[in-house]
Structure 1
């Protein structure tokens, strides 16, 4: 059944496949249209923020360029950003199951466009999560407040969708209290970058909370901007199935290394 979801996709786009873990190489806007309708339980997307404007930032105490890569350039004008966000969010809607949900992370550079795009496409926003980075980098210009948060929007396919929310699990994680929409989670640990770095890599802890809260074991998770593959790594950890899409071989290879390392660790635990 899992394989049937991607049966329309040409063989050249399959970069890696192992049991319940598939990586596709190509443009999400094209490949999303080939995924079986109503087949995906949850989507996590970390789309380009379009921050690569030749500015500077601080990383590990050093001044570095804000440029992430060519994929993060070229859409400085709002109308270009918004057109892009409408396009990929619309492509996500058909493969998403009728009761499925989508999570999108962003900053003020793109999240307002994404929120408006969700409304335009008749998704129903469930929550606006504020991810507070407890160890955020300082700002070097000293001309504004230090950026220490990202927004993660959680939405369902339609107003009538009966989405999954594992309330009791979230309450347990939160020490027996209802979990609120401000999450204090540090940025990505150095140990999570042992096989290489991605400029916008999300921490495992953030994806664990997202996946545990809104899916069940055996569910199918899709990430149209795979990056370093954190969504897929956590999906595999939690016995979910995964499809990741990316254009960059470098990051697909990084994902494979992380996945194979996880497999080895799981095998050693079962011996």
Structure 2
């Protein structure tokens, strides 16, 4: 092993941006790092890939009109380029996922249909199509469409007859007042109290990740987030006693994730 290489949980890489109490963040190109992860080493993957919304349009944020342009990472020139992007990262994700592991991918209508097709093309079976219904969505400024109030989260496993994914049915039933939990999850957008560490355009609320992680993993399982952003997956994974690896190419977002992970470690949240 070269002196500038570092190994953690089956991952060979340069020294991580952050490491503390079974959680690491890596500043890297997700595609390149996924190629270095030990095959079949991850129990669960949660991915919130770019939605490719940055097209010069406008949106509403806190009652103010703002640009939807998030950065170069959220821009794409064609559907073909977008779909190739999704197939490539999903192909790599499949290689690092354990035979009985599962993957969750969130997205809006702008990208989720490509993601769904890519999952099937790359050898996954979609288990559920979760609809996240937002109770406080931003209004539609043009008044020419219905208000966008939902996002989709796809849950999938390898399309292999021997694959036996884990699902904590009894706990999900308990959370739902003794009834089977349905595939429509209703709740608010991310609370201000979770955004204290900095601004990220698509930060997911902790309650969504908590339900996902509790439903499909056990304590000490390895969870990977290849587009970690503000670090919600890591914060919740750490709180629930899972081992976590997060990757992002944007250092500004990793700074936010690091702050949140440090607070979680300090206060035992």
Report TM bin, short chain. over 0.9
TM-score, normalising length from structure 2?
0.95
User: SS state of the match for residue 152, structure 2?
Assistant: strand
Pairwise CA distance, 1:159:
3.1
Q: In the alignment, which residue of structure 1 is the partner of 2:223?
A: 221
Question: Quick check: 24-33 or 158-167, which moved more?
Answer: 158-167
Pairwise CA distance, 1:49:
0.5
Distance in 1, Cα, partners of 2:126 & 2:118? 11
Unmatched runs of 5 consecutive residues or more in structure 2: 1-6
**Equivalences for residues 91-170 of structure 1 within 5 A:** 91-160=92-161, 161-170=163-172
Pairwise CA distance, 1:10:
3.0
Pairwise CA distance, 1:4:
4.2
Q: In the alignment, which residue of structure 1 is the partner of 2:4?
A: none
Q: In the alignment, which residue of structure 2 is the partner of 1:3?
A: 8
Pairwise CA distance, 1:158:
2.4
Distance in 2, Cα, partners of 1:264 & 1:202? 22
1:22-70 deviation digits (Å, cap 9, x = unpaired)? 1111111100010111110000000001000111011111111111111
**Equivalences for residues 217-256 of structure 1 within 5 A:** 217-256=219-258
Whether the 8 Å contact between 1:38 and 1:97 is mirrored in structure 2 is: yes
Pairwise CA distance, 1:9:
1.7
Please, what is the CA RMSD of the aligned residues?
Answer: 1.2
Whether the 8 Å contact between 1:20 and 1:242 is mirrored in structure 2 is: yes
Distance in 1, Cα, partners of 2:265 & 2:14? 27
Q: In the comparison of the two structures, how many residue pairs are matched? A: 262
Distance in 2, Cα, partners of 1:190 & 1:26? 28
TM-score, normalising length from structure 1?
0.94
Q: In the alignment, which residue of structure 1 is the partner of 2:69?
A: 67
User: SS state of the match for residue 36, structure 1?
Assistant: coil
Q: Which runs of 4+ in 1 moved over 2 A?
A: none
Distance in 2, Cα, partners of 1:49 & 1:4? 29
Distance in 1, Cα, partners of 2:143 & 2:73? 28
Q: In the alignment, which residue of structure 2 is the partner of 1:78?
A: 79
Q: In the alignment, which residue of structure 1 is the partner of 2:195?
A: 193
Whether the 8 Å contact between 1:82 and 1:113 is mirrored in structure 2 is: yes
User: SS state of the match for residue 101, structure 1?
Assistant: strand
